Amino acid sequence: MSAPFDRSLTGEVEAGISRDFAVSPQAGDEERVVESALRPHSLRDFIGQPKVARQLALVLEGAKRRGRPPDHVLLSGPPGLGKTSLALIIGSELGTAVKITSGPAIERSGDLAAMLSNLGPGDVLFIDEIHRIARPAEELLYMAMEDFRVDVVVGKGPGATAIPLEINPFTLVGATTRAGLLTGPLRDRFGFVGQMEFYEPAELQLVLARSAELLGVELTDDGSAEIARRSRGTPRIANRLLRRVRDYAEVEADGRVTRAVARAALALYDVDELGLDRLDREVLEALVTKFHGGPVGVSTLAVAVGEEPHTVEEVCEPFLVRAGLLARTPRGRVATEAAWRHLGRPVPRGGIPLGGVTAVPRDPGSSSEPLFDA
């Protein structure tokens, strides 16, 4: 049996989606090495997420005073907001070891049993993308979380027997980008659930200031503000853009990251004022120029930009919808007035016909009849 802890994290990259752009919230293998050097090691150093951090501090302090492991912790939210950092901080605050794996890496219940049996008293087991764990392993996890015991099945068929195996008390920290995909029995076994929120620009400036100090980058306040407002509210993206701007500043300027340097560098890397990258703008351009603002089906829109529908729907649309540039309707995708203005195009007479394509109750199986084929 291979060692599950040694397997690389598949992380938050879903199957079929690959995006090597400056503002992708996903982290590549090389970037994980850089991120590890920038991660905070205590809740005091952790920036942002004040409600989650405060609640978690109370949970950990109460557990330390009782001398027992804290309740199992579930961290939910979009990628790049600090779920892994908080998991490592939990181990650091408790003074215990942290074992790291990911849901897709646990293919069999035997893999999970091996991990659990190797945990020391009070250790933290961190499972990233826990919603993708195999079902047999998930069912084994139920008993481990509640009774700190697993049943190892020996043999097959009528002669199979279950041998109970006691394990050391531990704390499970699960991270997920899709809390809705967690089964009810698994979700109910977590004593603390923290919902991670997107960062405000002011918080991102604090993140950038800390990272700049660790990286030895001279970052001005206006340069920090310029990077922060293009980072989509995500610290991972902010740190990535800081490293790219640093490269530009060292090669093309005097090494200082000012607003002018940041603007020039981000323009070179195709990151505009709202944080949109090349693919985001291509989606909006196609929607506005080729389909007159929509409504248009996601499949048609994906063909127009030369991408897979899954990529457009899962990678581009969440931020475009959150930024108020695109609307999802029963008849298809529609560009909002903000999208037309951002692209520098005049808004159609009479405004955007969102009222004509708002969601209305439909009978199951009825056709939405999109203007363009979905």
- Report the CATH number that the domain containing residue 181 is assigned in CATH: 3.40.50.300
Decide: helix, strand or coil at residue 151: strand
Give me the mean pLDDT over the 304-332 stretch: 83
Give me the mean pLDDT over the 300-324 stretch: 83
Taking the C-alpha atoms of residue 332 and residue 317, their distance in angstroms, rounded to an integer, is 12
Q: Could you tell me the two tokens for 118?
A: 């190797």
Strand duo 332-335 + 326-329: pairing: antiparallel
- Report the CATH number that the domain containing residue 208 is assigned in CATH: 1.10.8.60
Cα angle 31, 13, 212 (rounded to 5 degrees) comes to 25
Per the residue annotation, which of 99, 236, 246, 281 is the catalytic one? Answer: 236
Taking the C-alpha atoms of residue 197 and residue 171, their distance in angstroms, rounded to an integer, is 23
Q: Say if residue 183 is in the same domain as residue 236.
A: no
84 is catalytic: yes
Point out which residues pair with 76 in neighbouring strands.
176, 195
pLDDT for the residue 273: 84
Q: Say if residue 124 is in the same domain as residue 236.
A: no
**159-188 pLDDT, tens per residue?**
667 677 888 899 999 999 888 888 888 888
Task: Write the CB contacts of 2 (distance below 8 Å, at least 6 apart in sequence).
Answer: none
Q: Say if residue 156 is in the same domain as residue 53.
A: yes
Per the residue annotation, which of 128, 171, 240, 336 is the catalytic one? Answer: 128
Band of the pLDDT at 30, cuts 50, 70, 90? low
**End residue of a domain, out of 221, 246, 269:** 269
In this structure, what is the dihedral angle of CA atoms 282, 241, 244, 312, given to the nearest 10 degrees?
A: -30
Band of the pLDDT at 208, cuts 50, 70, 90? very high
Q: Say if residue 227 is in the same domain as residue 172.
A: no
In a domain, 368, yes or no: no
Q: Say if residue 335 is in the same domain as residue 211.
A: no
Band of the pLDDT at 350, cuts 50, 70, 90? low
**158: pLDDT strictly greater than 50:** yes
Q: Which amino acid, one-letter code, is at 103?
A: G
- Chain-wide mean pLDDT for the chain? 80
- Is 333 one of the annotated binding-site residues? yes
Taking the C-alpha atoms of residue 342 and residue 335, their distance in angstroms, rounded to an integer, is 11
**End residue of a domain, out of 195, 216, 245:** 195
- Is 85 one of the annotated binding-site residues? yes
**214: pLDDT strictly greater than 50:** yes
**43-82 pLDDT, tens per residue?**
888 988 999 999 999 999 999 998 888 999 999 988 888 8
- Is 39 one of the annotated binding-site residues? yes
In a domain, 168, yes or no: yes
**228-240 pLDDT, tens per residue?**
999 888 899 999 9
300 is catalytic: no
Number of independent structural domains in the chain: 3
pLDDT for the residue 354: 53
- Is 183 one of the annotated binding-site residues? no
Give me the mean pLDDT over the 263-292 stretch: 86
Taking the C-alpha atoms of residue 242 and residue 215, their distance in angstroms, rounded to an integer, is 10
**End residue of a domain, out of 145, 163, 195:** 195
**Hunting for tokens 């700049």 — which residue is that?**
212
**Distance between the two ends of the chain, CA-based, in angstroms?**
46
246 is catalytic: no
Instruction: Write the DSSP assignment of 52-110 as a string of letters.
Output: HHHHHHHHHHHHHHHTSPPPPEEEESSTTSSHHHHHHHHHHHHT--EEEEEGGG--SHH
Per the document, the length of the chain is 374
In a domain, 336, yes or no: yes
Cα angle 195, 200, 178 (rounded to 5 degrees) comes to 30
In a domain, 258, yes or no: yes
Band of the pLDDT at 316, cuts 50, 70, 90? confident
In a domain, 11, yes or no: no
Strand duo 256-257 + 326-329: pairing: unpaired
Taking the C-alpha atoms of residue 249 and residue 309, their distance in angstroms, rounded to an integer, is 37
Is the preceding omega at residue 295 within 30 degrees of 0, hence cis? yes
| Alpha-carbon distances of 158 from 110, 266, 350, rounded to whole Å | 20, 65, 73
**32: pLDDT strictly greater than 80:** no
| Alpha-carbon distances of 220 from 47, 226, 227, 256, 264, rounded to whole Å | 19, 10, 11, 8, 15
In a domain, 361, yes or no: no
83 is catalytic: yes
Nearest-CA neighbor of 241 among 256, 228, 253? Answer: 228
171 is catalytic: no
Per the residue annotation, which of 177, 258, 311, 329 is the catalytic one? Answer: 177
pLDDT for the residue 203: 92
pLDDT for the residue 51: 92
Q: Which domain holds residue 79?
A: 29-195
- Is 308 one of the annotated binding-site residues? no
- Is 248 one of the annotated binding-site residues? no
Do residues 122 and 90 lie in contact, with contact meaning Cβ atoms separated by under 8 Å? no
Q: Say if residue 224 is in the same domain as residue 190.
A: no
In a domain, 15, yes or no: no
